[in-house]
Amino acid sequence: DTEVTQTPKHLVMGMTNKKSLKCEQHMGHRAMYWYKQKAKKPPELMFVYSYEKLSINESVPSRFSPECPNSSLLNLHLHALQPEDSALYLCASSPGTGEETQYFGPGTRLLVL
């Protein structure tokens, strides 16, 4: 099973709202990732967690706050977003053991009004 699940599938929020995106995998992977993807562009890396510790933060604005409660779960907390943050947010995981193929979830389509 190579499934990564993400909730919600769609999210509409105002600029003053606080919301969270959730990601879950049960493949025993120890690395998890958040990506942002705009239309007709490749995924852009935001954060990487390795063994539940944040190992990469690609200079993402503080209005995005990642959290890794355990090795199977990854959250992305959103606060005071801007309309330009509207995008497809993708979660991925990889074994974290040298075999680094990443498996992606279906994404959350976010619209900021």
Partner 1 sequence: EDQVTQSPEALRLQEGESSSLNCSYTVSGLRGLFWYRQDPGKGPEFLFTLYSAGEEKEKERLKATLTKKESFLHITAPKPEDSATYLCAVRNTGGFKTIFGAGTRLFVKA
- Binding footprint of partner 1 on the chain (CB under 8 A): 2, 4, 6, 31, 33, 41-43, 45, 48, 50, 55-56, 88, 90, 92, 100-107, 109
Nearer to partner 1, 47 or 64 (CB): 47
Task: Put residue 28 in one of left, alpha, beta given phi > 0 → left and psi -120 to 50 → alpha.
Answer: left
The contacts of residue 11 (CB under 8 Å, 6+ apart) are 19, 21, 108, 109, 110, 111
Q: How far is the CB of 75 from partner 1 (least distance, A)?
A: 17
Q: How far is the CB of 88 from partner 1 (least distance, A)?
A: 7
Nearer to partner 1, 45 or 80 (CB): 45
CA–CA dist 86, 97 (Å, integer): 33
Q: How far is the CB of 33 from partner 1 (least distance, A)?
A: 8
Nearer to partner 1, 15 or 111 (CB): 111
Adjacent-strand bridge partners of 91: 34
